[in-house]
A and B are shown apart, each in its own frame.
Chain A
Amino acid sequence: MTTRLLEIENLTVRLAAGQAARPIIDGVSLHVEHGEAVGLVGESGSGKSVTCRSVLGLFPEGAEAAGGLRVDGADILTMSPTRLRDLRRRDASMIFQDPRASINPLRRIGDFVTEGLRASGVSRKGALDRAEELLESVGIRAPRAALRRYPHEFSGGMLQRVMIAGALAGGPRLLLADEPTTALDVTTQAEVVSILTRLQAERDMGMLFVTHDLELAAAICDRVYVMYAGRIVEAQSAEGLFSRPRHPYTSGLLAATPRLESDRPPHGVPGRPVSLSEAPSGCAFAARCAHARPGCTEHEPGLREIDGAQVACLRAEELIHD
């Protein structure tokens, strides 16, 4: 049996005592196969970014993590700092939301793209040649000259391409994309996504794509996980999510999204998204849910398999949200 590229099993992350006694993500399980694009969707406080960052061993300060977290079979939680650094350099890399906040403005683009290569022992000449190829593959014109330029000389969309080039430098098998296009204009978003998905397919990388935009996740990904208040509430194929959303939160999100092809005005979900630390006992969504029954606030619903979808809702069998 081949090992999965990314396997998260029952991951729980607790903040350092004193900040909040309760966990910020609870019992999260998800996986990404080699070459597969997987979406992780949620609103503010859902824990989607914490989950994504945990894959590289990046936890909030003083946080405690428990559960299984493996990249290609190697356990992240017990990994030595040296091995973890190697993993971030070579096996798995992250594309962050705001390139302007994540790329050192005082250093040249070339330094940024070659940093990992140089650290793993590639010669300066070799690293620069490789960086030039990478910049070219993400559509930066005159890549040789671009290596000598500074971040402020690039637009947001161009700088995000530079970040993608940097993320690809070590030849990773796993890409973690944390809202990589949220800060971009819609047409720029399309361009960056086309570059990202092309390279992902060409290089047969697995990708965990974190976003608040269900439509975007469904357009890019094969499977989508939906998170709410630190837990996964639904997982299914992108297709199924739209045609047969199973969790009331998923259908609420779909109904709230303004749509071009529909006359139905977007319909808000009452209340506001909560984080796990604010969530009441039982189902965290119950307070906002039109289908909640008294039982919903008593037991925390676990994920159950229903018709190929995984749903954490006590009433999942009765409710189908077409």
Chain B
Amino acid sequence: MTEYALEVENLRKTFGDHVAVDDVSLTLRPGGSLAIVGESGSGKTTTARMLVGLERPDSGRIRVAGRDRSGAARGRATRLARAREIQMVFQDPYLSLDPRVTVAACVEEPLRLHFAMTSAERRARRDELLARVGLGEREADALPRRLSGGQRQRVAIARALATEPKVLILDEATAALDVSIQAQILDLLAEIRRDTGVAYVFVTHNLALVRHVADDVLVLYRGRVAESGPARDVLAAPEHPYTRLLLHSLPHRGWDPARIAADRRALATATRERPPAPTSEKRSVTS
């Protein structure tokens, strides 16, 4: 039996009366890549935050490398052990890095926290991590404000990789970047996955991206799984009307935004009358 890098069962989270995430299950094999797709309010960010432990689920189970982390962590050692296994890169590199901390110190911090290293070992590991993401000595000494958006996101990736996590959550990690830079970061991420065997969860609203970064995809609509399966199949023959709507919404030549607007209203009306249900069981993610 293969052990999943990440295994989630029937996750649910409510905020007051609002059900943000309802009955979400997924699996991710070691070195795999899963995209969680949806728009604002779909529950994709809440799901991501529960995976890394920034939110506690109301019910459901989360296992990373076979270890359950649904309950509260008892003690510092457990908390650190959990943090080592799963790390996150946030959307906005202008907000996620401390403006007063140099790049070198930023990457050393998790090393200091998680590993007993001499300062020489730590510096060596830091330089290795920075080299891994294509940054050199000059950038290591710099404060974030001296760096471009793409460089900052490289720092965030290096820092996240410092603990040698099994799973990296990328929450719209390239959405704020220029398209020519986004492609560079995607290249880098693909290379890192190949070399280290870390598994990715890409949280994104962009289906065009999914095709190139993920093996599997999970489409969330209003907190529930609308559709899931191998990315190739879901994109080629979407079964849920919401997935189709997302696909049609991508601007392209011959685009008909008026039709998309009409489809969107029809879907909203249909959903009000009958809550969404998964369209097919046969495609549930099993890799």
Chain B positions within 8 Å of A, measured between CB atoms, are 39-40, 148-151, 178-187, 190, 205-209, 211-212, 235, 245-255, 257-258, 260-261, 264
Question: A residues within 8 A CB of B248?
Answer: 190
Within 8 A of B (CB), among A184-223: 185-191, 193-195, 197-198, 212-213, 215-216, 218-220
A contacts, CB < 8 Å to B? 43-44, 156, 185-191, 193-195, 197-198, 212-213, 215-216, 218-220, 238-239, 242, 252-253, 255-260, 265-270, 272-273
5 contacts between A and B (CB under 8 A): A190-B261, A194-B261, A219-B252, A268-B181, A272-B151
- 7 A-B pairs with the lowest CB-CB distances in the bound complex, closest first: A268-B183, A268-B184, A194-B257, A269-B180, A185-B39, A190-B260, A219-B255
Q: A186-B206, A187-B245, A266-B183 are in contact. Are A212 and B255 (CB under 8 A)?
A: no
Given contact pairs A215-B251, A215-B252, A256 touches B179 in the complex (Cβ within 8 A):
yes
Whether A189 touches B249, Cβ cut-off 8 Å, given contacts A212-B178, A260-B211, is yes
Q: How far is the CA of A25 from the CA of B269 in the complex (A)?
A: 48
Nearest CB on A from B155, distance (A): 14
Q: Given A186-B206, A194-B260, A258-B211 in contact, is the A212-B40 Cβ separation under 8 Å?
A: no
Q: Are B249 and A270 in contact (CB under 8 A)?
A: no
A212 CA / B260 CA spacing, docked (Å): 22
Tell me if A266 and B255 are in contact (CB < 8 A). no
Which of B151, B179, B253 is A212 in contact with, Cβ under 8 Å? B179
A265 to B188, CA, bound (A): 12
Report whether B260 and A185 are in contact in the complex, using a CB–CB cutoff of 8 Å. no
The reply to whether A215 and B39 contact each other, CB–CB distance below 8 Å, is: no
What are the residues of chain A within 8 A of B254 when measuring CB–CB? 219
Cβ of B252: which chain A residues have Cβ within 8 Å of it?
Answer: 215, 219, 260
CB distance from A184 to the nearest CB of B (A): 9
A238 touches B253 (CB 8 A): yes
Chain A residues near B180 (CB-CB < 8 A): 43, 252-253, 256, 268-269, 272-273
In the complex, the answer to whether B150 meets A272 with C-beta atoms within 8 Å is yes
